[in-house]
Amino acid sequence: MNLKRYMGKCDAKIFFSIFFICILVLNLFFSCNLIAYLFLSKEIVPSKMIIIFHTGEIEIVRYGKILPSSIGLILQECDLIRTFSGSVDIQSGNGNLIRIKPYTEIILKNLPDKQHKETNLYFQSGELLVKTNKLKTDESFFISTSTTVAGVRGSSFSLKLEEGSQSPEVKVYEGAVGMNFKIPNKILEEIKTMNEEIYDEFIMFLKKMKSF
């Protein structure tokens, strides 16, 4: 009998010891979470772009290495997306959506992070369908080609660029798209040497186009 009582007391001590340890662990866990909630930054930083849908033949080129396209693949800056017979939908952390249609090439030149909230996609050829949400004042979204830069803010539009073409064909379905043309420095210097007055007028014209 005494042995059974002793064993019972030991079991009770072990039970209460484990119980108190669990209480301490839970208390520590909730305390840490409370501190994090009260004092740490709650800012949500947009994640990198991610593939949400794809079909047909597609390849992702990352630093010279070809990656297979798959739903859920997180894309990085400088990734080249090349579609053949297929198409792919990519989405940013803040909900901007780009459909890359067949026979298109695009480079993810800049993607947003905590310090820089700029998205810049370098469009080489093919066709894109873009839908952007309303951006915050410190956010920007650009699609650039060799000759143009399209700045958007809460728009739905498509871009089509044939191989060898200098500027893309733009169709706006909702919102507005601001288009600026890239002028090579060599051409600007040639205009300046030809006529200073014409050069000044040309620069003023470009500034007006940019503000438009």
- Residue 4 structural domain: 1-42
Tokens for 209, please give them: 């186009």
Same domain, 196 and 92: no
* Strand partners for 160: 127, 169
Decide: pTM greater than 0.85. no
Chain mean position to CA 65: 21
For residue 25, which amino acid is it? Answer: V
Same domain, 11 and 59: no
Provide the residue-wise pLDDT of the chain in tens; the chain has 212 residues: 554 454 455 555 565 566 666 565 555 454 544 444 444 444 444 457 899 999 999 999 999 999 988 999 999 999 999 999 999 999 988 788 999 999 999 999 988 777 777 888 899 999 999 998 887 777 788 888 887 887 777 788 888 888 777 678 888 888 777 767 655 555 445 555 655 655 565 555 454 444 44
Tokens for 84, please give them: 């053949």
Same domain, 162 and 209: no
Cα–Cα distances in angstroms (integers) from residue 122 to residues 13, 38, 68, in the given order: 68, 41, 21
Same domain, 177 and 189: no
Same domain, 73 and 96: yes
Same domain, 69 and 122: yes
For residue 115, which amino acid is it? Answer: Q
Same domain, 148 and 117: yes
